[in-house]
């Protein structure tokens, strides 16, 4: 049901068996991708004009939430949760927008680097507070969501600012083939550059270990506190990337947090990451975000009342989790 | 664990730091009342003369809906859960009532709103108790469902003279002699019921048991799914009540009226000493927590701080109080 935690043993087995076990481990993500393909075909069926612009819009609208979902997934895998991601994205977005407005393009590079460093710092503060105070993470990050949202309001009172043109160009438009939106490429590049090296390192083993059994991890010599902080730092980086993507796609910074915090939790769960920690990856949540976004598009095509679309979103969320936990219950009984 | 064993404090209990700590651990409400008093003094220092009976009435009136919603969080958190759907359910109930006032009348409206809320709570309970969906996800999804359906209802009903009924305005925002808020008429019996229910009834014990150690609770014969279903129905009904009072207080009916109360309600329960991990806490602390948050936000706005600074201080204080709590109540 979920992507597995240890990709190490499979490589030595025979290729076919290795492929089969890889598919089994990533069954949830593969299922989501298959569902996505069906959904795309369905979209094309109900709206024959859905094409390049549709895919383009889908990628752009999915990008901020996808980055938020990756951020949330990393923390959830480590056995925590972060309810301040939306506020963090708002804060990093307004800082980027406020600094880049009316400045030369080159200055934008410095701003982007600075904002990413800020994201790391914000994540470190969240993680540090969680570890040092020993208050449950849900409480600390809930409180910090007020703090970061307040900071965002200090930076900009009303939506405003601007974005460097190159930053927009990085995300809007297509690369090479018109069917390949830049936003999707950017997402893949970011994840490959940041997550894949982590995933291949010992740190990721610690990350999954503290998520699945903190005491066992501690007794096996994992520095639990440090690893938790690391998870939050990584989360901060992705939240900052999400904030930058908000600035880039909208061209401004909005000091009011969007629905990203709770939606990221939903996407993470739909993406096959267990809220109990230690299970899942970041690709499942990304696929889940795209599926959610596409379902919303389809509902507008089908002229479904937008309010009923919200209802459907809630039912999908509950339903999928319910099915997932039923499967898990079955398996634990068998 | 406000009613935890405090037998070890025999001998000369009031002299040592450890004894103080154990007092705080067993009666966490005492330092909280101290914090509340400090905030009241700070309000008086910030604006001399502001603290008077009228001010207290205003604070109480504003704190009542928050305290009820925080009660939902307290009860669900005792079992290790959380109810993020209270905002949507409260808004929906207030709104449904307001739309039914001019047609079928207030009593019918109240019944319909309560039934709708109970239905949402029932589904929450079934999801959490029977299907073992994580409460965070279950109630989050339910809040989307309730919000969407409330919006649909809003489009269905004609917008003629839908308004908050007079009786509710009296209850939510009226005061007795200009000081004592009428909403206490609802809140005091309700609070007594929750407090006694948690301490003196078997059901209250079951909530603590299920949250403290679900396996032990199951092995001792508690059917946790039944406990949870009843719990989430109670939580939704409390939320509906808070929605009525909030509608009366603000004299508005909107499908997003109580949304901004969700996070503060969790914060109030946490400040009040209820552990989000379950099995620890009580409603007494939560009431003080709701008062603390209300006094704090009134203090910050009377100091003329902008919304941004208020939010930052708000969050920082929640972290600080929760950290102090954990430090004091942690073993070793």
CA-CA distance, B267 to B258, in Å (whole number)?
A: 15
**Confidence at residue B236, expressed as pLDDT on a 0 to 100 scale:** 94
The pLDDT tens digits of the residues spanning A78-99 come to 988 898 999 999 999 999 999 8
**Confidence at residue A2, expressed as pLDDT on a 0 to 100 scale:** 44
The contacts of residue B47 (CB under 8 Å, 6+ apart) are: B302
Distance of CA B330 to the CA centre of its chain: 24
CA-CA distance, A269 to A55, in Å (whole number)?
A: 24
The pLDDT tens digits of the residues spanning A8-55 come to 454 555 778 888 888 777 788 888 888 888 888 888 888 787 777 888
State the smallest CA–CA distance between residue A309 and chain B in angstroms: 8
Contacts 24+ apart (CB under 8 A), B45-48: B46/B299, B46/B302, B46/B303, B47/B302
Taking the Cβ of residue B311 and every Cβ of chain A, the question of whether any pair is shorter than 8 Å is answered with yes
Q: Is residue B1 part of a domain?
A: no
Taking the Cβ of residue B268 and every Cβ of chain A, the question of whether any pair is shorter than 8 Å is answered with no
Whole-angstrom CA distances from B178 to B55, B181, B189 are: 10, 8, 21
Q: Which of A138, A144, A275 sits opposite B315 (nearest CB)?
A: A144
Report the greatest alpha carbon distance in chain B.
70
Q: Is residue B9 part of a domain?
A: no
Residue A153: closest CA among chain B residues belongs to which residue?
B308
Arithmetic mean of pLDDT over chain A: 85
CATH at B296 = 1.10.3470
Q: Which of B137, B148, B322 sits opposite A307 (nearest CB)?
A: B148
CA-CA distance, B120 to B264, in Å (whole number)?
A: 21
On whether the CB atoms of residues A83 and A142 are closer than 8 A, the answer is: yes
**Confidence at residue B255, expressed as pLDDT on a 0 to 100 scale:** 80
Could you tell me the two tokens for A190? 């970011």
Could you tell me the two tokens for A36? 């996505």
Chains A & B: contacts with CB separation below 8 Å: 147
Instruction: Reply yes or no on whether the pLDDT at A118 is more than 60.
Output: yes
DSSP state for residue A8 in the 8-state scheme: S
The contacts of residue B10 (CB under 8 Å, 6+ apart) are: none
Max mean pLDDT among A24-28, A61-65, A182-186, B25-29 falls in A61-65
Say which residue the tokens 């068998």 belong to. A334
Could you tell me the two tokens for B265? 């309600």
For A314, the enclosing helix (H) or strand (E) is helix A306-333
CA-CA distance, B293 to B243, in Å (whole number)?
A: 19
The contacts of residue A152 (CB under 8 Å, 6+ apart) are: A87, A90, A91, A93, A94, A255, A256, A257, B308
The contacts of residue B188 (CB under 8 Å, 6+ apart) are: none
Mutate to test the interface with A, among B156, B315, B324 (most CBs of A within 10 A): B315
DSSP A196-256: HHHHTSHHHHHHHHHHH-HHHHHHTT--HHHHHHHHHHHHHHHHHHHHHHHHHHHSSB-SS
State the smallest CA–CA distance between residue B74 and chain A in angstroms: 13
Q: Which residue, B156, B58, B47, B166, is CA-closest to B105?
A: B166
The contacts of residue A258 (CB under 8 Å, 6+ apart) are: A64, A86, A89, A90, A246
CA-CA distance, B18 to B16, in Å (whole number)?
A: 5
The contacts of residue A196 (CB under 8 Å, 6+ apart) are: none
**Confidence at residue B116, expressed as pLDDT on a 0 to 100 scale:** 92
Strand partners for B181:
B175
**Confidence at residue B160, expressed as pLDDT on a 0 to 100 scale:** 52
Q: How many helices, marked H, and strands, marked E, lie in chain B?
A: 14, 2
User: Which SS3 state, helix, strand or coil, does residue B180 take?
Assistant: strand
CB–CB of A266 and B137 under 8 A? yes
Residue B151: closest CA among chain A residues belongs to which residue?
A307
pLDDT tier for residue A125 given thresholds of 50, 70 and 90 = very high
Instruction: Reply yes or no on whether the pLDDT at A276 is more than 60.
Output: yes
Burial grade of A111 (CB within 10 A; 0-12, 13-18, 19 or more)? buried
Mutate to test the interface with B, among A322, A323, A324, A332 (most CBs of B within 10 A): A322
Taking the Cβ of residue B202 and every Cβ of chain A, the question of whether any pair is shorter than 8 Å is answered with no
On whether the CB atoms of residues A55 and A181 are closer than 8 A, the answer is: yes
CA-CA distance, A234 to A73, in Å (whole number)?
A: 10
ipTM of the modeled complex: 0.80
Instruction: Reply yes or no on whether the pLDDT at A6 is more than 60.
Output: no
Lowest-confidence segment of A120-124, A125-129, A175-179, A268-272 by average pLDDT:
A175-179
Taking the Cβ of residue B58 and every Cβ of chain A, the question of whether any pair is shorter than 8 Å is answered with no
CB–CB of A314 and B151 under 8 A? no
User: H/E/C letters for each residue in chain A?
Assistant: CCCCCCCCCHHHCCHHHHHHHHHHHCHHHHHHHHHHHHHHHHHHHHCCCCCHHHHHHHHHHHHHHHHHHHHHHHHHHCCCCCCCHHHHHHHHHHHHHHHHCCCCHHHHHHHHHHHHHHHHHHHHHHHHHHHHHCCCHHHHHHHHHHHHHHHHHHHCCCCECCCCHHHHHHHCCECCCCCCEHHHHHHHHHHHHHHHHHHCCHHHHHHHHHHHCHHHHHHCCCCHHHHHHHHHHHHHHHHHHHHHHHHHHHCCECCCCCCHHHHHHHHHHHCCCCCCCCCCCCHHHHHHHHHHHHHHHHHHHCCCCHHHHHHHHHHHHHHHHHHHHHHHHHHHHC
Number of domains observed in the structure of chain B: 1
Burial grade of B197 (CB within 10 A; 0-12, 13-18, 19 or more)? middle
Find the chain A residues whose C-beta atoms sit closer than 8 A to any C-beta of B: 81, 129, 133-136, 138-140, 142-154, 157, 262, 265-266, 269, 275, 305, 307-315, 317-318, 321-322, 325-326, 329
**Confidence at residue A9, expressed as pLDDT on a 0 to 100 scale:** 53
Residue A327: closest CA among chain B residues belongs to which residue?
B131
CB–CB of B133 and A325 under 8 A? yes
CB–CB of A311 and B141 under 8 A? no
CB–CB of A150 and B155 under 8 A? no
The residues in B 59-118 lying below 8 A from A, measured between CB atoms, are 82, 84
Q: Which residues form the domain of B58?
A: 29-42+51-329
- Contacts with B266 from chain A: Cβ below 8 Å: 139, 142
Buried b or exposed e, range A282-318, using 16+ CB within 10 angstroms: bbbbbbbbbbbbbbbbbbeeeeeeebebbbbbbbbbb
Q: Is residue B3 part of a domain?
A: no
**Confidence at residue B234, expressed as pLDDT on a 0 to 100 scale:** 93
CA-CA distance, A206 to A272, in Å (whole number)?
A: 20
Taking the Cβ of residue B130 and every Cβ of chain A, the question of whether any pair is shorter than 8 Å is answered with no
Mutate to test the interface with A, among B122, B124, B142, B148 (most CBs of A within 10 A): B148
**Confidence at residue A3, expressed as pLDDT on a 0 to 100 scale:** 46
State the smallest CA–CA distance between residue A143 and chain B in angstroms: 4
**Confidence at residue A13, expressed as pLDDT on a 0 to 100 scale:** 57
CB–CB of A311 and B148 under 8 A? yes
For A181, phi then psi, to 5°, come to -70, 140
Give this prediction's pTM. Answer: 0.83
CA-CA distance, A69 to A85, in Å (whole number)?
A: 9
Mean pLDDT, consecutive 10-residue stretches, chain B (332 aa), reads 46 62 73 86 82 83 91 91 90 86 79 92 90 85 88 73 70 73 84 88 86 84 87 93 87 81 87 82 88 88 83 86 77 47
The pLDDT tens digits of the residues spanning A127-141 come to 999 999 888 888 899
CA-CA distance, A38 to A294, in Å (whole number)?
A: 11
Instruction: Reply yes or no on whether the pLDDT at A244 is more than 70.
Output: yes
Q: Is residue B282 part of a domain?
A: yes
**Confidence at residue A333, expressed as pLDDT on a 0 to 100 scale:** 64
State the smallest CA–CA distance between residue B5 and chain A in angstroms: 23
CB–CB of B319 and A144 under 8 A? yes
The pLDDT tens digits of the residues spanning B60-113 come to 888 999 999 999 999 999 998 888 899 999 999 988 888 887 777 778 888 988
On whether the CB atoms of residues A163 and A96 are closer than 8 A, the answer is: yes
Residue A305: closest CA among chain B residues belongs to which residue?
B152
Q: Is residue B22 part of a domain?
A: no
State the smallest CA–CA distance between residue B176 and chain A in angstroms: 35
């Amino acid at each position: 049901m979920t992507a597995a935690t240890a990709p190490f043993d499979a490589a030595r087995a025979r290729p076919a068996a290795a492929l089969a076990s890889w598919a089994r481990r990533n069954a949830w993500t593969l299922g989501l991708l298959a569902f996505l393909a069906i959904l795309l075909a369905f979209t094309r069926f109900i709206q024959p004009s859905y094409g390049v612009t549709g895919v383009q819009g889908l990628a752009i609208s999915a990008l901020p939430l996808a980055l938020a979902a990756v951020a949330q997934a990393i923390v959830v895998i480590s056995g925590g949760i972060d309810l301040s991601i939306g506020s963090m994205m708002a804060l990093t977005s307004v800082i980027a927008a406020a600094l880049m407005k009316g400045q030369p393009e080159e200055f934008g590079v410095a701003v982007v680097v600075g904002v990413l460093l800020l994201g790391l710092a914000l994540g470190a503060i969240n993680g540090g507070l969680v570890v040092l105070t020993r208050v449950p993470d849900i409480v600390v990050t809930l409180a910090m969501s007020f703090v970061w949202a307040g900071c965002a309001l200090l930076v900009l009172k009303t939506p405003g600012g601007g974005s460097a043109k190159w930053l927009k160009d990085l995300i809007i438009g297509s690369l090479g083939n018109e069917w390949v939106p830049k936003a999707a490429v950017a997402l893949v590049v970011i994840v490959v550059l940041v997550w894949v090296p982590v995933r291949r390192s010992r740190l990721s083993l610690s990350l999954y270990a503290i998520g699945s059994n903190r005491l066992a991890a501690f007794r096996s010599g994992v520095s639990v506190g440090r690893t938790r902080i690391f998870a939050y730092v990584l989360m901060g980086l992705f939240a900052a990337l999400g904030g930058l993507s908000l600035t880039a796609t909208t061209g401004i910074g909005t000091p009011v947090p969007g629905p990203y915090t709770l939606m990221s939790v939903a996407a993470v769960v739909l993406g096959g990451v267990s809220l109990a920690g230690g299970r899942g990856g970041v690709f499942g949540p990304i696929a889940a975000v795209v599926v959610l976004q596409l379902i919303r598009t389809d509902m507008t095509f089908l002229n479904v009342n937008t309010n009923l679309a919200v209802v459907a979103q809630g039912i999908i969320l509950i339903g999928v989790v319910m099915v997932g936990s039923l499967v898990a219950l079955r398996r634990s009984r068998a | 664990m406000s009613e935890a064993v405090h037998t070890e404090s025999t001998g000369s209990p009031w002299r040592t730091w450890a004894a103080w700590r154990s007092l705080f651990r067993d009666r966490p409400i005492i330092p909280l009342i101290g914090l509340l008093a400090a905030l009241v003094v700070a309000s008086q220092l910030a604006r001399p003369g502001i603290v008077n009976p009228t001010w207290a009435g205003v604070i109480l009136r504003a704190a009542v809906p928050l305290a009820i919603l925080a009660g939902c969080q307290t009860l669900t958190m005792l079992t290790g859960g959380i109810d993020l759907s209270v905002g949507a359910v409260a808004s929906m109930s207030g709104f449904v009532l307001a739309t039914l006032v001019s047609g079928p009348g207030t009593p019918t409206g109240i019944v319909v709103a309560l039934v709708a809320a109970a239905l949402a709570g029932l589904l929450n309970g079934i999801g959490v108790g029977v299907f073992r969906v994580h409460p965070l996800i279950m109630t989050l999804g339910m809040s989307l469902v309730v919000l969407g359906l409330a919006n649909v209802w809003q489009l269905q009903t004609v917008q003629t003279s839908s308004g908050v009924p007079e009786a509710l305005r009296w209850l939510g925002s009226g005061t007795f002699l200009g000081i004592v808020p009428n909403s206490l008429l609802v809140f005091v019996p309700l609070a007594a019921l929750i407090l006694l229910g948690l301490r003196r009834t078997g059901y209250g014990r079951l909530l603590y048991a299920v949250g403290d150690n679900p396996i032990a609770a199951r092995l001792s014969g508690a059917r946790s799914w039944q406990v949870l279903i009843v719990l989430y129905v109670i939580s939704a009904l409390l939320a509906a009540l808070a929605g009525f009072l909030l509608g009366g207080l603000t004299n508005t009916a909107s499908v997003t009226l109580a949304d901004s109360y969700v996070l503060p309600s969790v914060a109030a329960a946490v400040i009040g000493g209820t552990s989000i991990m379950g099995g620890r806490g009580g409603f007494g602390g939560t009431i003080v927590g709701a008062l603390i948050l209300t006094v704090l936000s009134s203090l910050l706005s009377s100091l003329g701080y902008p919304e941004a600074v208020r939010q930052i201080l708000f969050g920082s204080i929640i972290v600080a109080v929760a950290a102090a709590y954990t430090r004091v109540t942690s073993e070793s």
